[in-house]
Amino acid sequence: MRLRCAVLDDFQGVATESADWSVIEGQVEVVALHEHLDGEDALATALADYDIVVTLRERVPFPGSLIARLPRLRLLVASGMRNSVIDYAAAEAHGVTVCGTASASTPPVELTWALLLGLARGIVEESGTLRSGGPWQSTVGADLHGRRLGLLGLGKIGGRVAQVGLAFGMRVAAWSQNLTEERAAEVGVELAASKEDLLATADFVSVHLALGDRTRGLVGAAELALMKPTAYLVNTSRAAIVDQDALLAALHEGRIAGAGVDVFDVEPLPADHPMRTAPRLLATPHLGYVSRANYATYYGQAVEDIQAYLTGSPVRRLP
């Protein structure tokens, strides 16, 4: 009897096309689920008959209470090698193996710049008015060359975002709680004196931090109040790093020029979520990791993880 594998959140219907799943078809029946399952009850019901689950990033939490309701579950594959919404102790206690995959840092870097450039030059607004017969030129773009780019975080993604900023001729500064002069010098950027200094002096602020106890709510109302009224904020990292209510208030009150956001407190966004209609906001539905090459890696290595598990030698185990 074949095992059953559910692939979650295959919104674009490409999961089975992004890798060669035929190598396991004799042992595993693969079912791609195209609609998001919202809530533990829906997940427990929908996944009750599956032995393997493939989940994208951290969109679907797997707390111990859910794992306990999935007695057939034996293998959980999550894209990426870090996942904060899986209860690993509960998985181990219930005999569930958890594996990950590689994840490229270049797609979120590229999306960060798509949002930043879109904001700076009013791309969406100008394209919309052009296509609808509206006015010819209605915005005046913000310059990048010579302006100050402030990065909250200078890890792998932040470092690459910095290099692009330098190529545009921007003055780049960075800050995080553990950032050193040596790391800043390695990337060729300035180490900001403080978080407050970075926010107050930057023309563009971009968030590239991991979510944790020290970064949750790191940018709140007080921090947004420090930003220039002509400055833009971009967040392609984690929604909870920026206080969502404070950001909405700043956008509605025009206290910053705009924001580019790819991550939200609830995903997918409900139809009536205020982020869908906020002014001065360029928003995308968590596309940071969504690229052909990254999907080929996610699903290709998911297949490898399943193959290895079936042979009794799991690979890329988490945590």
Give the residue numbers annotated as catalytic, written as ranges: 238, 267, 286
Q: Which two tokens stand for residue 26?
A: 């004799």
Kindly report the CA angle at 162 between 269 and 139, in degrees rounded to 5? 60
State the DSSP code for 6: E
Number of Cβ within a 10 Å radius of residue 145: 8
Report the C-alpha gap between 158 and 198 in whole angstroms: 15
Length of the chain (residues): 319
Q: What is the DSSP string of 139-207?
A: --PPP-TTPEEEEE--SHHHHHHHHHHHHTT-EEEEE-TT--HHHHHHHT-EE-S-HHHHHHH-SEEEE
Is 43 within 8 Å of 68 (Cβ atoms)?
no
Number of Cβ within a 10 Å radius of residue 5: 23
Is 267 within 8 Å of 276 (Cβ atoms)?
no
Report the C-alpha gap between 51 and 129 in whole angstroms: 50
CA distances from 151 to 183, 194, 204, 231, 256 (A): 13, 12, 8, 13, 17
3-state secondary structure of 64: helix
Q: Which two tokens stand for residue 280?
A: 């001065």
Q: How many CA atoms lie within 13 A of 221 on its CB side?
A: 5
- What proportions of the chain, in percent to the nearest 5, are helix, strand and coil? 35, 15, 50
